[in-house]
Amino acid sequence: MSFLKTHLFFYLLVGTVFSTMAQHQANVETPSLVKWLTFKEAFELNKKQPKPFIIDVYTDWCGWCKTMMKTTYSSHEIATYINTWFYPVMFNAETKDTIEYLGVNYFNTGKGARSTHQLANKLLNGQLMYPSTIFANYNVNFILNSQGYLDAKKIEPILVYTLENVFRSTPYEEFGKYFEKTFYDTLKPKTDVKWYSFNEALALNKKKPRKIIVEIYTNWCNGCRVMNKTTFSDSLNADYINKNYYLVDFNAESKDTINFEGNVYLNNGSNGTPFHQLAMKLVNNNLALPTTLVLDENLQTIDLIPQYLSPTAIEPVLRFYGSTNYKTEKWDDFVKKYREKKPSAKK
């Protein structure tokens, strides 16, 4: 699972500060490389440095819960990724402890040995299945509940989906499908899209002016890799892009020297970041990954979209800016009419 990579500086940049901390291993029979926390520990740490949460909901009698500890959570790569970028919480759904969760105390009021804790009912919406794994962002306004055993292949895309905020733009089922194509599908896309370096696109634009799409990414951004491999090469979009745009893959950590609008841009650390000066200029020093930038024929920014986009999400964007519609029509009106027509990607 070597593709589960993140870069420390980016999360410093966007406000998630990672530091070494003492974390406590839960007292469970089955081993795990994940450094599990209690709810109290996780929420206290989150006040100091926000991170997303992963909550393992289990019971003592659940065999698949123990199997997941011995396999998925004993994978060095999975555990390292979770320990670094998440607050992992282990929660016994039948504990008798009083647990404070988001300012409310929850209890186990049942009398039997297998009575269910109130918080388990809340987190699982009454659908009690073990193991269940809850993924939530740092302020818990996004929650995804995955029920049943998760092996490494199943948990990888959910971790990326949560950590890289893909949930803000795309349903998980859609992202999971393209994640699978990116990292596990060995088949070459049916349609080829032409990628250019920034310098190549600028040179071509001088000879034959076209709009330019700039995809700003890094090698360690997994959502970027999914988008670069599937969104633009999809048959919905590739032919249209090749006919109407110059498509630039711009690694924000590139060391290329780029002459843009009469100014020379480098990546020499002078801006206090590991990112290229031009990348930071184009995003107004507010880098999110991935970011899709649309430039007109005169290299002026038309739109900047700082989030993951699936093939279907970017399709109307390409048509809106690929023509002159954006000059005369509101985006919402265009999208409504476009969806109703459902035109061929080749039109």
To 5 degrees, how large is the angle CA 341–CA 344–CA 347? 100
* pLDDT one digit per residue (tens) for the chain, 347 residues: 445 654 443 443 433 333 323 333 344 455 799 999 999 999 999 999 999 999 999 999 999 999 999 999 999 999 999 999 999 999 999 999 999 999 999 999 988 889 999 999 999 999 999 999 999 999 999 999 999 999 999 999 999 999 999 999 999 999 999 999 999 987 776 678 999 999 999 999 999 999 999 999 999 999 999 999 999 999 889 999 999 999 999 999 999 999 999 999 999 999 899 999 999 999 999 999 999 999 999 999 999 999 999 999 999 999 999 999 999 999 999 999 998 886 544 44
| CB environment 53-81: b (16+ within 10 A), e (fewer) | bbbbbbbeebeebbebbeebbebeebbeb
Cα torsion 298, 303, 307, 311: sign: negative
Instruction: Dig out the tokens for 106 from the structure.
Output: 């929850």
39, 91 Cβ separation under 8 angstroms: yes
Residue 145's H or E segment, with its range, is strand 143-147
Report H helices in the chain: 8-13, 39-48, 63-70, 76-85, 118-123, 152-163, 172-183, 198-207, 222-226, 238-244, 277-282, 311-322, 325-328, 331-341
In this prediction, residue 189 carries a pLDDT of 64
Closest CA to 150 of 133, 136, 134: 133
Q: In the chain, what are the domains? A: 8-163 (3.40.30.10), 195-322+331-341 (3.40.30.10)
The pLDDT tens digits for 300-309 are 999 999 999 9
Angle, CA 227 vertex, CA 291 and CA 216 arms, to 5°: 30
Residue count of the chain, please give it.
347
Task: State pLDDT tens for residues 230-287.
Answer: 999 998 899 999 999 999 999 999 999 999 999 999 999 998 999 999 999 999 999 9
Distances (CA, A) of 24 to 29, 48, 51, 83, 266: 15, 17, 17, 11, 44
pLDDT digits (tens, 9 = 90+) for 73-105: 999 999 999 999 999 999 999 999 999 999 999
Q: What pTM does this model have?
A: 0.87
DSSP annotation of 196: E
